[in-house]
Amino acid sequence: MRACIISIGNELLRGKTVNTNASEFGMKLTLCGYDVVRGLTVMDDSDEIAWALEVGMESADLVLTTGGLGPTFDDMTVESVSKALGLSLTADPVTSERLRKRYAKLGLEPTPERLKMAMIPEGSRALQNPVGAAPGVFLKVHNKMIIILPGVPEEANAILDSIMDEIRIRGVEYYSESRYLKGVMESSLVRIVNTVMKEMDSKVYIKSHPRHSETGNPAVELEILARSDTKQHAMDLVKSAFSMVLEQLNEGKNKGQE
């Protein structure tokens, strides 16, 4: 199953905010068994949100959006998604009641901007926000899952955590491990990595991350990933691959190739 993450907000595009949500959610969806295949960052603009949603639904089974759920004029995610899907908006009664109570307690009016946060697309489910005001939204359309989350990381993570069990793909376990290899050049690893991935029949994915200049004082973080039906088997695959890589690296060194 494939996933696409859509991040909404001008502040992300002009670099005001580092998109930690995309990596946090990417990791969580990966651990739930999904292949995260595309990430899109778009402006606070209804057409741009509609474009991203279309690309997301073409690319993936699960589309997760983050950002644009607050009370301000440029928070337009729910409205834009609903419009793009041809769905009308209805007030979620639980959220409306909660918002009214929260603002009343502070002696404040339930203005239309504030109550806007309770509006969700018809046929969707509000995902209660234990941290902030705007709820998340869970929606199934055309056999696709759509999850709409706020942009504030604490709120979005709390909501996503509450549905992890529901969206988890059963029988797909993921394992990854990294090792820091000092004195190893990324370019020396290329053939070894290719050989090991082939020998292991592509059951593992090996990625090297240069951690120092290739020709200065080289160092590489070697990361090996595997998916399997059990955690133990995924782990065994990763361990075998590490042994093979390290063995071939040592052989190379002994032969004086490096």
Which positions touch its own copies (CB under 8 A)?
A: 5, 7, 10-20, 22-30, 36-43, 48, 70-74, 102-103, 105-106, 108, 111, 113-114, 131-133, 152, 176, 185-191, 193-194, 205, 207-210, 213-215, 223, 258
Least separation in angstroms between residue 94's CB and its own copies is: 16
Whose CA is closest to 220, among 188, 244, 242?
A: 188
Least separation in angstroms between residue 247's CB and its own copies is: 19
Residue (15 or 171) nearer to its own copies, CB? 15
Please, are residues 42 and 81 in contact by the beta-carbon 8 Å criterion? no
Residue (15 or 86) nearer to its own copies, CB? 15
Least separation in angstroms between residue 123's CB and its own copies is: 27
- Measured CA to CA, the distance from residue 68 to residue 151 in angstroms comes to 7
Question: Cα–chain-centroid distance for residue 245?
Answer: 29
Residue (86 or 217) nearer to its own copies, CB? 217
Least separation in angstroms between residue 168's CB and its own copies is: 16
Least separation in angstroms between residue 22's CB and its own copies is: 6
Residue (179 or 209) nearer to its own copies, CB? 209
Least separation in angstroms between residue 113's CB and its own copies is: 4
Least separation in angstroms between residue 142's CB and its own copies is: 21
Residue (58 or 247) nearer to its own copies, CB? 58
Residue (17 or 128) nearer to its own copies, CB? 17
**What phi and psi values does residue 166 have, to the nearest 5 degrees?**
-70, -35
Other C-beta atoms closer than 10 Å to the C-beta of 178 total: 13
Residue (16 or 142) nearer to its own copies, CB? 16
- Measured CA to CA, the distance from residue 63 to residue 50 in angstroms comes to 12
